[in-house]
Amino acid sequence: MPKKLKNCIFLVFVLSMFFSSVPLAWAGTVDAAGLKQMFDKYGAPSRWSSLKSAVDSPTLAWSETYIMRSYLVMYQATKDKQYINNFIDHADSALARRDSVRGVIDYRGLSLPVWRDGKYTDYKTYYIYADETGLIATPLAQFAALVNKDPNLASYRAKANEYVKAAKDAVNVLFMSQLRNSDVNFTWIEDGNTLHLDRPINKNLAVGSALLAIYEATGDSSYLDKGKKMANFFKQNLLTNSSSGGYYWKYYPSDPRFTNTIEDTNHANVALQFINMAYDNGIFSAADMRKFANTAAKVLVKSDGTIANYLNGSGTIEQQGQIGNWLVFAPWSPSLFDAAYNVIKNKSSLNPPEIQGLAYMNYVLAQNEETDQPPGEVPDPDPNPTPEPGAGDNLINNGDFGAGSTGWVNINNAAQIKTESNGNKYLTNSYNFYFYQDLQLKPGTYQINARTRKGTAVKGARVVVRFYYQDGSDNFKTFTYVNKGSGWEDMPGMTLSVPATAVTTRIYLSGMPGDNGTQDFDDLTLVAAGDTSAPDDTTPPAESDTEAPAVSISAPASGSSVTAATALKATAGDNEGVVKLTFAYATNPQGSWTTIGDATLSSGSVAQGVWNLTWNVAGLANATYYVRAMAVDAAGNNATSDPVAIQINNVTNLINNGDFGAGSTGWVNINNTAQIKTESNGNKYLTNTYNFYFYQDLQLKPGTYQINARTRKGTAVKGARVVVRFYYQDGSDNFKTFTYINKDSGWEDMPGMTLAVPATAVTTRIYLSGMPGDNGTQDFDDLVITQLK
């Protein structure tokens, strides 16, 4: 028997002596089917359908979102799509209850894509609350992230796109100007590398969770950057319990009224999902997670099995099942499962946060059944111990997978531990970043060795090493290997230099980008350079990723003639994945280039996909232009496509000064009712209320025309209106009216408006205004009228 295994068995025996007073639920009393049945009883859609009628209150944020998240967790535990459909039922209802959809307004008279609340003001005034907005947006974005990662959910992609857009729209409202809560100005405080509101911790982290969830769903690093800054603010307010070694924090540290108020267990639920996502994104370390786990296992769970009401262990929470939400720290404290189960099994009813805790129990059980390693078998192991390099020491925990996935993070159970006929266990994984181990390595040189075998993969094996730094930044080093045969092969020795400033080193094992097949791994070792435990290997070490992406423009075709808004498309691929693609144009391919904007991934994957961007060329002079695309991968390598020549042939705009760059020149503005305003970037635009006082007269020839315009809601709630009035020789007239309701708070293109000018019309008058019955203002810009051929 190996010495390491003997030590592990002895450790189990010794620890069991200390924990003998804690009954383990794993003595054959819990099975996945039974736990699922318990969730289906308490989480049944019929029990919670009444939540879908809640408006203008905190119910959606503080009750219904727990039910929504529980369905997502249950899908991850069971892969049963009925839970996805249950989630969609609530999510669709949540979107239908947005102020902008219902046509209701907040305290400023704005109808925005968020959820107002009047409970705290006796329904006399309605405010937008940061915590409620973040809590609702988070599961919407988490759904999108889950769909994007799970091929079995491909049919839900349209819903994912709809929900993540709603999440972005809601969160973006929180960063508008002129927001406030009922009792405090709504001002973001950005101080160096931190970002926060002068509000309780839970309100900040509710927004932080939404930011990180949107980043995971879209890859837009601007959301990650804000999330990191909010995490840095949270870190500044973390305190350590000297007796338990656990983290805790105060409810509202900056407010003198709450100087001695420790965070309560209920509000701490908001922090848990933020902490978990922050860890997944390298913001918190394994050591941090151990400290949060200590709080749960050693402070919240009392000696009699009841659950404390505050993070310092005081009080007793009424909703005891909320301890299940702390199972996000189960890898660092498996005994938490037993504590949660012993509470849940004795309850006759559960509230929404407890139901989410029950969902986490199902997830933890499913993960451990996958690896035949029940939590509780070894109480409170540390899956990520701080290694001390020494001769012969393998610094990887469970690198031969003999203990299943112990010591490893396996998001969504993406990877599998399998067993060969001879009893040997090994890892099999596809291309992803879901299976990894975090290490705290001292600065120095190390060598990685591993065996690999191709399963259904064709491109080979990949080992990615990611260094996380104190300032929140990170970088990669990638090693790859292409198998020569179908059996187990030794990868060449991989030399690794750990920087002095790296606080965490993360090791990923997977297949290659663009390969949907599986790759097998076994016997992974990481030793300090010079140790004798690594096998001799004269093969030069694999190099870090220096391969640039491949990128080409697929639309428009070279020589195309374009007008108005044109669709730009580029195909890009990379061995590590494309993280950004930008289009630019020039009048001379050897001259200076002007950025058009960043494209979005519309199909395929970051390994090989199509990226789209709409380019409005209406303001450019008719001439030949060149368009190119630049792709950037995760390692910072970039490549630029060959330029494509296009001909811009904009037709004449028959409106005089339709972009309002010359103020109100060319327009009639009776009593100066309408205003020409200027944005911070210098762009001028029109703002007007409902009236017939702002217009322009045109002498259009008989024929068919199209009107295009951009609009944005100011304080209006009903939308934009374009009225066309025809005057005839006999003094009569008639109207044609076009209307548009904005979907969010930014500039939007109104649908093209087709206009037939009668042969007998002598004057055509164009009015721009808000809608009847709406006293608010509506903005307009870039009005264009062109004759259709």
* Confidence (pLDDT) at 542: 40
HEC secondary structure over 172-210: HHHCCCCCECCCCECCEEEECCEEEECCCHHHHHHHHHH
Over residues 98-108, mean pLDDT: 91
Pair 133, 210: CB distance under 8 Å: yes
* Confidence (pLDDT) at 335: 84
Range among 67-71, 362-366, 478-482 rated most confident: 67-71
Does pLDDT of 653 surpass 90?
no
Q: What CATH number labels 550-648?
A: 2.60.40.650
* Confidence (pLDDT) at 539: 35
Question: Is the pLDDT higher at 12 or at 355?
Answer: 355
* Confidence (pLDDT) at 177: 52
Pair 786, 705: CB distance under 8 Å: yes
Q: What is the pLDDT of residues 623-646, one digit of tens each?
A: 899 999 999 887 778 889 989 999
CB atoms under 10 Å from CB of 194, counted, come to: 16
Does pLDDT of 328 surpass 90?
yes
Domain positions in the chain: 1-30+237-382, 80-230, 409-528, 550-648, 668-787
* Confidence (pLDDT) at 65: 97
Does pLDDT of 659 surpass 70?
yes
The residues facing 708 across adjacent strands are: 784
* Confidence (pLDDT) at 512: 83
Over residues 293-308, mean pLDDT: 93
Does pLDDT of 693 surpass 50?
yes
Pair 212, 274: CB distance under 8 Å: yes
* Confidence (pLDDT) at 531: 41
Does pLDDT of 24 surpass 60?
no
Task: Please report, rounded to a whole number, the percentage of residues in the chain having pLDDT higher than 70.
Answer: 88
Closest CA to 629 of 592, 671, 595, 667: 595
327-341, 606-620, 653-667: which range is least confident on average?
A: 606-620
Third-level CATH fold of 668-787: Jelly Rolls (2.60.120)
CB atoms under 10 Å from CB of 482, counted, come to: 13
Structure tokens that stand for 505 in this block:
């080193």
Q: What is the pLDDT of residues 716-736, one digit of tens each?
A: 999 999 999 999 888 888 889
* Confidence (pLDDT) at 623: 86
Angle at alpha carbon of residue 588, lines to 587 and 589, rounded to 5°: 120
DSSP letter assigned to residue 127:
B
Burial (Cβ within 10 Å: 0-12, 13-18, ≥19) of residue 529: middle
Q: What is the pLDDT of residues 197-226, one digit of tens each?
A: 888 999 999 999 999 999 999 989 899 999
For residues 206 and 220, what is the distance between their CA atoms, to the nearest angstrom? 19
* Confidence (pLDDT) at 110: 86
Non-local (6+) Cβ contacts of 644 within 8 A are: 553, 556, 557, 558, 626, 627, 628
Question: Is the pLDDT higher at 787 or at 132?
Answer: 132
Does pLDDT of 301 surpass 90?
yes
* Confidence (pLDDT) at 28: 41
Q: What CATH number labels 409-528?
A: 2.60.120.260
Does pLDDT of 544 surpass 60?
no
Pair 126, 182: CB distance under 8 Å: no
Angle at alpha carbon of residue 467, lines to 461 and 471, rounded to 5°: 155
Over residues 661-685, mean pLDDT: 92
Does pLDDT of 342 surpass 50?
yes
* Confidence (pLDDT) at 453: 95
Predicted confidence band of residue 403 (pLDDT cuts 50, 70, 90): confident
Q: What is the pLDDT of residues 219-266, one digit of tens each?
A: 898 999 999 999 999 999 999 998 888 999 999 988 878 888 999 999
Predicted confidence band of residue 651 (pLDDT cuts 50, 70, 90): low
Over residues 515-523, mean pLDDT: 89
Predicted confidence band of residue 155 (pLDDT cuts 50, 70, 90): very high
* Confidence (pLDDT) at 576: 76
Closest CA to 577 of 627, 494, 515: 515
Over residues 272-297, mean pLDDT: 92
* Confidence (pLDDT) at 81: 95
Does pLDDT of 20 surpass 60?
no
* Confidence (pLDDT) at 238: 94
Does pLDDT of 274 surpass 60?
yes
Over residues 15-43, mean pLDDT: 61
Predicted confidence band of residue 564 (pLDDT cuts 50, 70, 90): low
Whether 409-528 shares its CATH topology with 668-787 is answered: yes
Over residues 652-666, mean pLDDT: 90
Burial (Cβ within 10 Å: 0-12, 13-18, ≥19) of residue 582: buried
For residues 527 and 530, what is the distance between their CA atoms, to the nearest angstrom? 8
